[in-house]
Amino acid sequence: MPSEPLDTRCPYQEVTKSGLRCGVAEMVYTSEFSTEEVSVEICLKCAIGRIHREVGCDKVGGKTSLAAIGICGRVGKEYAMATCEPFCTLGKRPTTLELCQACPVRNEPVVQDVVSEARALLDRLGFAEAHDCLNEAQLRLHAGKSDECVSKSKAALESCMRSILVKASSPATDGADMPQLWKLVKEETKLWEPPVDDHLKQVAGGLASVVQGVGALRSAVGPDHGRTETPPTYDSYAGLALHCAATLCLFLAQRWREVSQPSK
């Protein structure tokens, strides 16, 4: 009987033409054997990946350093993990699998499910850019890159609205900002026809305002404007932007599917 496939899932894994790549591997330039490529064996042992798989918390990032082992005097496809340093972005401290298993503050499964469900539906509908931006936003949040998380969250929502407008054969949206896209979605599609009542429209509009507002905040305080430090509470803003963007992308995608594919 064939053996069960090994579970090496990790949000930092990236599949390339040559194999697996670790998104948090640090290149150690003092060694010619430094690499970002990983093997299944390394991913199985990596504490960062194990925390994501076994604990299910999306607040853990960190870094690893990897080295390729020479085969017959040449660098081959064998790798060794030199260091693995999990970091809790919630507690702002290094962590371990054991600490995470005992942590009383676990990531709420509902929030995690909303992001995952939104990505899955965007993928099924062919909204590739929105899906990728939402995925990148979550990875940036895991890695503690709050300003990039906000930017990607805002981009995911904008792309979702653009994709719906394109599929609805609406006028070109080049150059339209988020408020303009939101207005076009309301005016040019059937997403707001009954049974979507005024109260639900107000809630959805509020979510869009939050993402837009956090995006504006990012522009005001982020490194793009010459600042080298972000406010101490900025991680919470990033999480707010991601969760609002995911919730709104999921709602818009579900409504688009309902009005464009009523029998499904």
The per-residue pLDDT for range 151-176, each reduced to its tens digit, is: 888 899 999 999 999 998 887 777 88
Gap between the Cα atoms of 99 and 192, Å rounded: 47
Distance between CA atoms of residues 229 and 26, nearest Å: 22
Domains of the chain, each with CATH number or no CATH: 13-102 (no CATH), 109-260 (1.20.120)
Bridge partners, 81 (sequence order):
66
Q: Which whole number is the average pLDDT over 112-132?
A: 88
Q: Where are the alpha helices (DSSP H) in 189-233?
A: 198-221
Query: Which residue has better confidence, 133 or 143?
Result: 133
**What digits encode the pLDDT tens for the residues 14-32?**
777 777 788 887 765 445 5
Packing angle, helices 178-188 and 198-221, rounded to 10: 160
Provide, rounded to the nearest whole percent, the portion of the chain with pLDDT above 70. 74
Instruction: Provide the percentage of residues in the chain whose pLDDT is more than 90.
Output: 10
Higher pLDDT, 67 or 156: 156
Give the model's pLDDT for residue 122.
93
Higher pLDDT, 228 or 34: 34
Asked whether the predicted pLDDT for residue 74 surpasses 50, the reply is no
Cα 223 to the chain's mean position, in Å?
Answer: 20
Task: Copy the structure tokens of residue 125.
Answer: 């509908």
**Greater confidence, 255 or 264?**
255
> What Å distances lie between residue 20 and 10, 169, 179, CA to CA?
11, 39, 39
Closest CA to 114 of 214, 6, 251, 238: 251
DSSP H helices in 15-95: 40-45, 47-50
Measure CA of the first residue to CA of the last residue in the chain; give whole Å.
Answer: 37
87 pLDDT higher than 80: yes
C-alpha–C-alpha distance, residues 97 and 48, integer Å: 8
The pLDDT assigned to 220 comes to 59
| 203 pLDDT above the threshold of 60 | yes
Those residues with Cβ within 8 angstroms of residue 264's Cβ, 6 or more apart along the chain or in another chain: 257
Of 188 and 119, the structure prediction assigns the larger pLDDT to 119
